[in-house]
């Protein structure tokens, strides 16, 4: 496992230990996959080595290696089949939430045992009728004295039955006001063995052979108030606060399989001879492997940079989201490519690549679908990159008679706004940006007028057929405006809009 320059000596040592462990026990993990049995003995060895404590502070019996340490563990254990998923689910299925929102009593009660690997966790959000729409969940928790009575169903729960602690979210209020403020959910630690808490079914999955994923039934389960994290109504805040860590850890758990897919593709191509040469000699396979290497390096960099920011106390929303999106898509692409490089052998169970290929399909779904990741990146990315994406002011250069971008334009002095002045500015905007609407802010910069004054006048021009406005559907107000042909003709002579490159044969122009 390649270390990054910002890793501490303890991070580097952890990476070395886990990589050696994965090399030593890879055959056992694959054997368990053949048998479709979860490798509990291997999990016990992970527990004994204390790696479940990577995230947990030393004062609670952990290693105190932060998000980076837990990502190192997730990457290395990702080479051992489903071992990684028990580990990662425990980390974002209770551990981080207890660290951030637990009382001192709760931390002392659970964290040392998690660090020792004695308690494993699960994240319990999804329900039969609510997935990405997590705020709509129907599982209900009603307080009765010093207990909450929880009733409902949950599904797609990884570690179902294997976990001891279930980080569960339930609805505690039907008030429209609470719902509007996202104060209607509460977070609980439901413990295995509580009366009325049972597994309804275990799912047959496309991948993750041997790992239990299932439906949970909560039939009036009585959970002590002491098992509530935060205050009543804090559930949504607790849920979303852990998403950036969860996404980073999901990305990290994809890195081990990506490396192994590349490993087997190279191993096979160096030894498979066709047309009197190893198939790695074929440029098509060299290009495939080159792409796999580039994607692996990029995915690791994104993931560990996000972890680095989390360890600095930053939210890392964009970085964690981008890491999850990219690493999980790369896992799909690289495992598919590895199968292709290996040909028919890649489709056989005699090599682990087909298992990696099947496992890869779930990664763009867990931790929030990649479609949701793209929505987050679009919405928050535009806000976060506002300065970097500052729009150019396209102005016609007198010498070239062509538009050039300007980023330092002095705003026009305040002046009286007239129809003719607005129309002339729209004509100039058209010449520089034919086909685009001008925003009110752009026009205000050039005219020295207020956006609301421009909007009012633009509507008057529209009534006369000289301009066309774009109305923001949410605000029901003018957002942009453009000239019509009639407006262009009124503002400037038609000759003004012409542009001919010097190389054009004027005899062909009419």
Residue from 244, 43, 22, 67 nearest 159 by CA: 43
Residue from 364, 352, 363 nearest 80 by CA: 352
pLDDT at 36 over 90: no
Give exposure, 137-171, as e/b (b: 16+ Cβ within 10 Å). bebbbeeeeebbbbbbebbbbbbbebbbbbbbbbb
Residue 466's pLDDT band (cuts 50, 70, 90): very high
Where does residue 491 fall: left (phi above 0), alpha (psi -120 to 50 degrees), or beta otherwise?
A: alpha
How much is the average pLDDT of 305-325? Answer: 96
Q: Which domains does the chain have, with CATH numbers?
A: 1-119 (1.10.540.10), 121-238 (2.40.110.10), 243-384 (1.20.140.10), 393-500 (1.10.10.10)
Question: Residue 426: what pLDDT?
Answer: 98
Longest dimension (CA), the chain: 93
Write the pLDDT tens digit of every residue in 54-63: 999 999 999 9
- 307 near 68, Cβ under 8 Å? yes
Pairing of strands 121-124, 165-171: parallel
pLDDT at 132 over 90: no
Question: Residue 298: what pLDDT?
Answer: 99
Q: How far apart (Å, rounded) are the C-alpha atoms in residues 487 and 466?
A: 4
How much is the average pLDDT of 126-132? Answer: 92
Write the pLDDT tens digit of every residue in 68-124: 999 999 999 999 999 999 999 999 999 999 999 999 999 999 999 999 999 999 999
């Amino acid at each position: 496992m390649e270390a990054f320059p910002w890793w501490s000596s303890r991070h580097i040592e952890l990476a070395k230990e886990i990589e050696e462990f994965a090399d030593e026990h890879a055959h056992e993990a694959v054997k368990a996959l053949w048998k479709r049995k979860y490798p509990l003995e291997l999990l016990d060895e992970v527990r004994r080595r204390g790696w479940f404590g990577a995230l947990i502070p030393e004062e609670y019996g952990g290693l105190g290696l932060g998000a980076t340490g837990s990502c190192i563990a997730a990457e290395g254990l990702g080479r051992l089949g489903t071992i990684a998923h028990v580990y990662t689910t425990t980390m974002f299925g209770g551990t981080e939430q207890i660290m951030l929102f637990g009382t001192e009593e709760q931390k002392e009660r659970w964290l040392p045992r998690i660090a020792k690997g004695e308690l494993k966790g699960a994240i319990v959000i999804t329900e039969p009728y609510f997935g990405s729409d997590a705020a709509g969940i129907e599982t209900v928790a009603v307080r009765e004295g010093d207990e909450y009575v929880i009733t409902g169903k949950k599904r797609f729960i990884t570690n179902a039955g294997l976990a001891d602690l279930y980080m569960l979210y339930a609805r505690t209020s039907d008030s429209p006001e609470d719902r509007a403020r996202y104060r209607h959910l509460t977070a609980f630690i439901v413990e295995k063995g509580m009366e009325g808490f049972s597994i309804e079914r275990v799912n047959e999955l496309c991948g993750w052979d041997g790992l239990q994923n299932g439906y949970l039934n909560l039939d009036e389960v009585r959970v002590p108030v002491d098992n509530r994290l935060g205050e009543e109504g804090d559930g949504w805040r607790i849920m979303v606060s852990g998403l950036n860590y969860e996404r980073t850890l999901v990305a990290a758990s994809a890195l081990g399989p990506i490396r192994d897919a590349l490993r087997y593709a190279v191993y096979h191509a160096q030894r498979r001879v066709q047309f009197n040469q190893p198939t790695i000699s074929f440029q098509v396979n060299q290009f495939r492997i080159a792409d796999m290497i580039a994607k692996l390096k990029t995915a690791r960099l994104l993931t560990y940079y996000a972890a680095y920011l989390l360890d600095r106390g930053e939210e890392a929303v964009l970085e964690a989201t981008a890491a999850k999106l990219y690493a999980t898509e790369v896992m799909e692409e690289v495992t598919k490519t590895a199968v292709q490089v290996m040909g028919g052998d890649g489709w056989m169970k005699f090599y682990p690549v087909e298992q990696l290929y099947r496992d890869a399909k779930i990664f763009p779904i867990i931790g929030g679908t990649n479609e949701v990741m793209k929505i987050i990146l679009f919405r928050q990315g535009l806000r976060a990159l506002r300065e970097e994406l500052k729009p150019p002011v396209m102005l016609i250069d007198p010498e070239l008679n062509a538009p050039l971008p300007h980023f330092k334009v002095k705003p026009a002095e305040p002046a009286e706004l007239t129809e003719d002045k607005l129309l002339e500015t729209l004509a100039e905007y058209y010449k520089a940006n034919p086909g685009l609407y001008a925003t009110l802010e752009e026009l205000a910069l050039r005219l020295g007028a207020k956006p609301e004054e421009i909007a009012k006048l633009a509507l008057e021009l529209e009534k006369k057929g000289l301009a066309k406005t774009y109305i923001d559907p949410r605000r029901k107000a003018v957002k942009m405006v453009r000239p019509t042909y009639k407006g262009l003709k009124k503002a400037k002579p038609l000759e003004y809009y012409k542009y001919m490159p010097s190389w054009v044969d004027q005899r062909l122009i009419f």
